[in-house]
Structure 1
Amino acid sequence: MADTATTASVAAAGAANASTDAPSFQLGKPRFQQTSFYGRLRHYLDIIDPRTLFVTERRLREAVQLLEDYKHGNLQPGVTNEQLWSAQKIKQAILHQDTNEKIFIPFRTSGYIPFGVPIMVGLLLPHQKLASTVFWLWLNQSHNACVNYANRNATQPLPVSKFIQGYLGAVISAISTGVGLKVLVKKANKLTPTTRLLVQRFKLLPALASANICNLVLMRYGELEEGIDVLDGDGNCVGSSRIAARHALLEMALMRVVLPMSILVVSLIILSMLEKTALLQARPRLLLPVQSLLCLAALCLALPLAISLFPQMSEIETSQLEPEIARATSSRTVVYNKGL
């Protein structure tokens, strides 16, 4: 009788799973294939879903418990693949992958767009005074530094001194570059007003790109010295690799250049065209809401595209790593968490 009941339960669970279009659930694995850019794009669109910001503590506990039940083979009959994928999505959006601690809402990946858009609008405000430029550059780098820290690869501890060093380096880099270019533009008397306005706005691109890279390198420099954990196919740590850390930082540096470039180029080109329309010239008060919508659209487009350039768990051949790591595993490849 017990065997019959068990068989019936398994059959019911299988039928429930078969009734959905969701792929078979794999604990800790992405729902969409990470070998293609399109698969990573769908994966990160899931991760940046802002609806996860409103998940209650009770719903989070239920999601974590459901995954624990699956892990230990205690899953109740009737649980579908879709429910399991949804539970994993909630957990990964709220809890850090390495520490399993809750990430503060403004610094979650799903919170980057709603909390980042007001900052981008402030950065793109025309005719800013020096104090305003400094404030928005400082606020942007402060937000980025906190996002970097909250979503870092935490397999190696980051001293507070390193965080402060990275934060100050990014702020100084952004402000010095942004203010320096602002002063140069003011002294360029031969520029037409339109050209001057475009240069003033696009000056943010080198300022933000250099600051993002400076922030990334200084805050995660410890990874270059100590290495980051690399895992075999079974999820077992086979060592800490400095070579893998260099690969992770190179991938992140490229992403941190592509992201502001995509946002600024798209939004500023469209904004400069709209400013010439009769509607905005007759109603200049509409400029700020239009600019806000442009920043929102550009960020919604640029963020998933930029972070989809590389998979979250990047793969590297063991032959490219340190000899002691290559000897510690029989796997041809290992993976590492590149961070965000």
Structure 2
Amino acid sequence: MAQAKEEILGFPRYPPFKLNQPRFPQETFLGRYLHYLDVIDPRTLFASESKVNESLELLNKYSLGQRPENATDENLWKAQKIRQAMFHPDTGQKIFPAFRMSGFVPFGWITVTGMLLPNPSWPTLLFWQWINQSHNACVNYANRNATKRFVPMPAVSLASTINVLCMRAPELETGIDVFEKNGKKVGTSKVAAKRAVTETTLTRAFLPVPLLLIPPCVMPFFERIKTVRHNPRVHLLVNAVVCTLSFAFSLPIALALFPQESKIERNDLEKELQANTFESILVYNKGL
């Protein structure tokens, strides 16, 4: 029983703390899945101001080599979880709750339910698509790679992939920063930017798949219940719950397709950047 508390899916629940590193290994899908469960955990939305300040202070002391004696690995990982959920990794700015990945499901479930209503009219369909893509545009912008400043393009589109491309197209022009493993900046790469945008686009392209498959498969079982079948309000409520759970199920799986801190080989970078480092593998922030 004690072992079950110490491990989760075969990984240590709270391994030795590493500042600015994921709690679980990113080389495997399961490790990335567990990492993104932390990233999208909606409980971080309710962290009090005092708890946030306490977490930031603890991490700041740790970064200065002043780890408090009573600070356990669990304390440090939980503090880092709050910081990563609330603040952008590149700018350090606090992200508005509705645009955080941890707020994607709590603030997006109404939109998802509206989009999956049976037999919608064209005006209804267009309205919910507009709301959905507007929210997606804000989430895409808030969680982009922000090592370069740019003015975002309007991105109200009927496809999440086009939405990502619209919001992050300037990265393809300016490039994104790539780093050595020790955090030293090597330069700005358009090759890395292309990979980052491609990976994010594929993630968003996969995200709707479970949403479109699960509710139509599950709802017929609930519709056998007389109350659900004959009461429109109950039917709508059940449909909303099924859609929300499908959304919550699919989000970490889609995000886990690629690590947030992705790797790129030195030989794949631009020639001028290859001359700036001797390391064979470099890293960049893919964004969410």
Q: TM-score range by the shorter chain?
A: over 0.9
Q: Which residue, out of 201, 219, 225, partners 1:271?
A: 219
**CA distance in structure 1 between the aligned counterparts of 2:78 and 2:225, rounded to whole angstroms:** 45
1:129 aligns with 2:77: no
Q: Which residue, out of 131, 141, 163, partners 2:153?
A: 163
Range that drifts further, 295-304 or 263-272: 263-272
1:40 aligns with 2:32: yes
Q: State the partner residue of 2:20.
A: 28
**CA distance in structure 1 between the aligned counterparts of 2:231 and 2:68, rounded to whole angstroms:** 60
TM-score, normalization: structure 1?
Answer: 0.78
**CA distance in structure 2 between the aligned counterparts of 1:313 and 1:88, rounded to whole angstroms:** 16
**CA distance in structure 2 between the aligned counterparts of 1:281 and 1:72, rounded to whole angstroms:** 61
Aligned residues between the structures: 277
Q: State the partner residue of 1:143.
A: 135
Q: What percent of counterpart residues are identical? A: 44
1:306 aligns with 2:254: yes
**CA distance in structure 2 between the aligned counterparts of 1:244 and 1:49, rounded to whole angstroms:** 28
> C-alpha offsets along residues 15-61 of structure 1, whole Å, 9 cap, x if unaligned?
xxxxx962110100011000100001111111111110011111111
Higher helix share: 1
Match of 2:37, SS state, is: helix
Runs of at least 4 residues off by over 4 Å: 276-279
The Cα shift of 1:134 comes to 1.6
1:333 aligns with 2:281: yes
Match of 1:60, SS state, is: helix
Range that drifts further, 74-83 or 94-103: 74-83
**CA distance in structure 2 between the aligned counterparts of 1:263 and 1:127, rounded to whole angstroms:** 16
**Paired residues for 1:162-311 under 5 Å:** 162-164=152-154, 167-168=155-156, 170=157, 174=158, 211-275=159-223, 278-311=226-259
Q: Which residue, out of 72, 83, 94, partners 1:80?
A: 72
Amino acid at match of 1:238: V
1:113 aligns with 2:105: yes
Preserved CA contact (<8 Å) 1:238 1:328:
yes
Amino acid at match of 2:50: R
| Larger Cα-atom Rg | 1
TM-score, normalization: structure 2?
Answer: 0.92
Amino acid at match of 1:302: S
What RMSD, in angstroms, separates the aligned Cα atoms of the two structures? 1.5
Extract unaligned runs of 5+ from structure 1: 1-19, 175-210
